[in-house]
Chain A
């Protein structure tokens, strides 16, 4: 029954695919190897997706155990189960783990597994990059946890507010490990996101127009864009904090002219979109699960998709609502409050759509559906307490109390994690070919539901009573002991319920009922292939003529396309390499803009930091700026020669580009040594710190570009590029021109001091 895919397909993949049926456009042969070792070398998106989910699951148990120790400590007033120092490390590691090692990877894992299947592709656009992105996850996790061996886990909270996270206040290596781990994880997340964007844009099957992709794919796509734009803000902040801690700069040390509030700005420019990075894929899962188990199409596909875009746009404009208590001024507070209130509108639209989907449906209360319905209720509660926080006076009253803890756990646990549980029950049959046990599933659901609400609902009350978060114990105020006791008891119920899930998964892997290709009667393409899918995903694709191709296939007499028209596929797909290059460039623009913004902040105002500009040699830099610009021109000539098939000439121009770039880098190295000899060090003043950080990162990018050009030269060694690499020179060219443009901006801002007068 599990191999029933072959009989279901009616159309082959497209002309010209037959002779190379098992060789993919990216040139990797599809693998069907077995054994543990094959998982280490895999580039199959399904296996990588499972690896993501498995890794995140392990970290979920770690982070959950940390939470249980926290709750044990807080079960009664004045307990001394852990010391205050360990308590700080516990909540820092719990937050960091749950956001970066559980939430993001498990969602990326599901996206990895499902997106190619849902759009009818055989793999993601860049399978090797995909594997690299996954490998960054355990690497980052190990870096983060290595701190425990080095004496102290990070203990400055998951948002590591400066100046607490700077050297004078956190001298142990915990924060350094935190920075390194998060940088690695962040780069991995951006790589995965670029891959998802390229996959959705470039690898859709014929017929799968952008207006027909499943909502999960759409939301993952928007999430990937958010990731690409938000993570660099964190990376910029981390880089600056790292320079502070290791090179003695003072970006975030107010005592030496730095700005602690700047850290908060940078962190929350990342941090608020991050909330949606964690929530939107969950919305996507709910948008797939509720229709299938209500046996109705989603109500208002366009509204759910469009409101996602609105959320994405708005999410970048509301970060300062995390900073109402900082004192930004009432004008700023009001605008950010309005923006935050506005986000409730697109989110509310989604809630209504999901509810309307269930209305009049023939609902099956499977475990997946139960979790989805609980998601709806709990997410509304978390959303409402969030809207309440947009009111500045209420925020001032409740910030840093347990009300905040209750709010974001209702969003991230009651919302995201419940959606993830629903997704596990829904897609486990597809991933393994076996059903999860429903009876155990119901136990898991009800215990989780009761445990979750016991744990976190009472925290609203504790917050309103004024119990501060992040303090290792509390006074025996009236009612606090009882409510904290309830919360702790609930948390252990939650822990027990999660163990039921683990047991259910392990048991069902061996003894679960055989699922068949489409056990739920679901609608999207992944259900039109066997469970688990073959390495190439589809032996033959069904025709895609609506948003529910699997439904159309199984119910030809009531097929969607007979009654509802959706935009036809124009059959055009962009090349993956330039899409990836543009996505990467967008990410890098964010990174450099934030670094330069820090420079402008520090050099404007009282003007103390601007004095350092005198030590720079502007005329010489003009000359070498010209060299770098010339290298862009030579690259253009190389591309033109490649287009005309003049391979030898192209290689000569590429070589010239390489040389010009190397000359520029050499000059940068000379300038650096000159400055360092003259005593201009990052720790001297903020100008020097900014100068070395910005030009250093730009130099690294030039170096990366040179390596890419070198690889291009090597690829073109036969005087011609292999056809499937034809888009690569163009992508490298985009990156190289970008590096040049960045330099021109860096030159204008740092050497010439533009824009003038913002001071």
Chain B
């Protein structure tokens, strides 16, 4: 009796009709293509600047870029962070791309080849929700972190805003300004902070607005759980494809302000934590609504016939309402845990960033950057003090 649900789950996973080897072939083909593209890029790609690198490359050649040479990257991958054309960097990028392609292929296989795929099509609401999480959170995160826009704690240029600019207007001690005119109009400073060599394009600047990413990321979740949209996606394959694509794109937009490589576009860590917290509130609200809803959120899930392999699970008490509850909780808890984990990572980087927070004109930071550039994170530096600084 005790193991009944687990046995039922086992028999569900073992059911051959719920696996899709055909889809696996597609994903494998996609994976091979991606690897081929990477190989091609590696062979010839270093000649032409790749898309989305201009901002970083330009910034790296700015005068205060010397700091980055001394710094180890804080993202866990070893290796020097020189200009984009260096061989070591290229190899690293390639290696990351392989990992990313493999991870994305694996996630897609989990979402569409394993029983999750067939069950998400009108049978189990929770399986459908798992698919959402993969498309909206996991795949975009993998793409951004591994190939697109890795965060560098020692990136040149200061992160925009900073905790100081909560409301966009700040007082600077040196300038003694901020009390002249009504500060609501002092918007020029923010643009100053972002201005520099090769100012990012309008699209990238728009995407970097937290409101855009937040509304797209959280809005996609909300929109596709409107009963009408949810039902339509189940009835028409085209709408389903549109939904899946839109979820990936919304996910990419959502993570952009947090993970974009160009430090001038990236949210400062405390702001990024606040951004993720708001997103957590957004999916919590939806999660609560679905978990505690009394009726069916997506009625079309009641229509499809139950596959035979699912019967034991249903018999073990996994009714439609429990299924919907589980779906709501999946929408609610795992994203928030992911946001919390990313927040902690961001805070670690925030504390590890030593000299770069100064305005570019500051000279003191550059002098001492070498000494502490090698700090490998909070634990090591804290241990260093503890062992060397015991009083008496």
- Which A positions have Cβ atoms within 8 angstroms of B? 14-16, 201-202, 206, 209-211, 295-303, 305-306, 309-310, 313-314, 316-317, 329, 331-332, 335, 338-339, 342, 356-357, 360-362, 521, 558, 560, 563-575, 578-579, 581-582, 593, 597, 600-601, 604-606, 639-640, 642-643, 645, 721, 723-724, 726-727, 729-730, 733, 755-759
Contact A362 B171 (CB under 8 A): no
Contact A570 B295 (CB under 8 A): no
A335 to B331, CA, bound (A): 12
A759 to B299, CA, bound (A): 10
A615 to B334, CA, bound (A): 42
Contact A331 B385 (CB under 8 A): no
A568 contact from B169, B339, B358, B391, Cβ within 8 A? B358
- B352 CB to closest chain A CB, in angstroms? 8
Query: Which of B39-47, B101-109, B321-329 forms part of the interface with chain A?
Result: B321-329
B164 contact from A206, A573, A593, Cβ within 8 A? A573
12 of the cross-chain contacts (CB-CB < 8 Å) are A201-B163, A303-B382, A317-B284, A565-B368, A565-B372, A574-B166, A574-B167, A575-B178, A601-B292, A604-B295, A639-B182, A726-B180
Contact B333 A338 (CB under 8 A): yes
Which chain B residues in 130-187 approach chain A with CB under 8 Å?
Answer: 158, 162-174, 176, 178-185
For A731, the closest partner residue in chain B by CB is B167
Contact A568 B357 (CB under 8 A): yes
- A365 CB to closest chain B CB, in angstroms? 16
For B165, what are the chain A residues with a Cβ–Cβ distance below 8 Å? 572, 574
For A726, what are the chain B residues with a Cβ–Cβ distance below 8 Å? 179-183
Contact B295 A303 (CB under 8 A): no
Q: Say yes or no: A210-B362 contact (C-beta < 8 A), given A303-B382, A758-B297.
A: no
Q: Say yes or no: A604-B181 contact (C-beta < 8 A), given A305-B351, A314-B340, A578-B167.
A: no
Q: Indicate the size class of the contact surface on chain B.
A: 35 or more
A15 to B177, CA, bound (A): 12
Contact A643 B182 (CB under 8 A): yes
- B124 CB to closest chain A CB, in angstroms? 13
Contact A729 B347 (CB under 8 A): no
A758 to B291, CA, bound (A): 10
Contact B166 A578 (CB under 8 A): yes
Contact A16 B176 (CB under 8 A): yes
Contact B162 A295 (CB under 8 A): no
Contact A306 B344 (CB under 8 A): yes
Contact A572 B354 (CB under 8 A): no
Contact B354 A755 (CB under 8 A): no
Add 13 more A-B contacts to A298-B382, A601-B292, A758-B290 (CB < 8 A): A301-B351, A302-B347, A306-B344, A309-B273, A565-B368, A568-B365, A571-B173, A579-B166, A581-B167, A606-B294, A721-B182, A724-B179, A756-B227
- B348 CB to closest chain A CB, in angstroms? 6
Contact A757 B226 (CB under 8 A): yes
- B160 CB to closest chain A CB, in angstroms? 11
**Residue B1 at the chain A interface, CB threshold 8 Å:** no
Contact A565 B371 (CB under 8 A): yes
B347 contact from A15, A306, A338, A339, Cβ within 8 A? A306
Which chain B residues in 163-214 approach chain A with CB under 8 Å?
Answer: 163-174, 176, 178-185
Contact A339 B333 (CB under 8 A): yes
Contact A309 B343 (CB under 8 A): yes
For B351, the closest partner residue in chain A by CB is A302
**Residue B15 at the chain A interface, CB threshold 8 Å:** no
**Residue B359 at the chain A interface, CB threshold 8 Å:** yes
For B164, what are the chain A residues with a Cβ–Cβ distance below 8 Å? 201, 570, 572-574
A345 to B374, CA, bound (A): 28
Q: Say yes or no: A313-B277 contact (C-beta < 8 A), given A297-B386, A645-B181, A730-B183.
A: yes
Contact A730 B184 (CB under 8 A): yes
Q: Identify whether the interface residues of B are mostly helix, strand, loop, or mixed.
A: helix
For A565, what are the chain B residues with a Cβ–Cβ distance below 8 Å? 354-355, 368, 371-372, 375
Contact A300 B172 (CB under 8 A): no
Contact A729 B348 (CB under 8 A): no
**Residue B94 at the chain A interface, CB threshold 8 Å:** no
B183 contact from A14, A569, A645, A727, Cβ within 8 A? A727
A727 to B172, CA, bound (A): 15
- A220 CB to closest chain B CB, in angstroms? 16
Contact B173 A211 (CB under 8 A): no
**1/0 per position for B354-390, CB-CB distance to A under 8 A?**
1101110010110010011001001101111110111
A563 to B388, CA, bound (A): 9
Contact B344 A310 (CB under 8 A): yes
For B291, what are the chain A residues with a Cβ–Cβ distance below 8 Å? 332
For B389, what are the chain A residues with a Cβ–Cβ distance below 8 Å? 296-297, 558, 560, 563
- A295 CB to closest chain B CB, in angstroms? 4
Which 6 residue pairs of A and B lie closest in terms of their CB atoms, listed nearest first? A302-B378, A578-B167, A643-B185, A572-B164, A757-B227, A730-B184
- A731 CB to closest chain B CB, in angstroms? 9
**Residue B18 at the chain A interface, CB threshold 8 Å:** no
Contact A313 B167 (CB under 8 A): no
Contact B390 A362 (CB under 8 A): yes
A313 to B342, CA, bound (A): 12
For B350, what are the chain A residues with a Cβ–Cβ distance below 8 Å? 211, 567
A385 to B189, CA, bound (A): 53
For B277, what are the chain A residues with a Cβ–Cβ distance below 8 Å? 313
A202 to B158, CA, bound (A): 20
For B169, what are the chain A residues with a Cβ–Cβ distance below 8 Å? 574-575, 578, 727, 730
Q: Say yes or no: A309-B347 contact (C-beta < 8 A), given A296-B386, A362-B392, A578-B166.
A: yes
- A270 CB to closest chain B CB, in angstroms? 15
A724 to B226, CA, bound (A): 48
For B180, the closest partner residue in chain A by CB is A723
**1/0 per position for B64-88, CB-CB distance to A under 8 A?**
0000000000000000000000000
For B182, what are the chain A residues with a Cβ–Cβ distance below 8 Å? 639, 642-643, 721, 726-727, 729-730
Contact A568 B386 (CB under 8 A): no
Contact B322 A313 (CB under 8 A): no
Contact A303 B184 (CB under 8 A): no
A756 to B339, CA, bound (A): 28
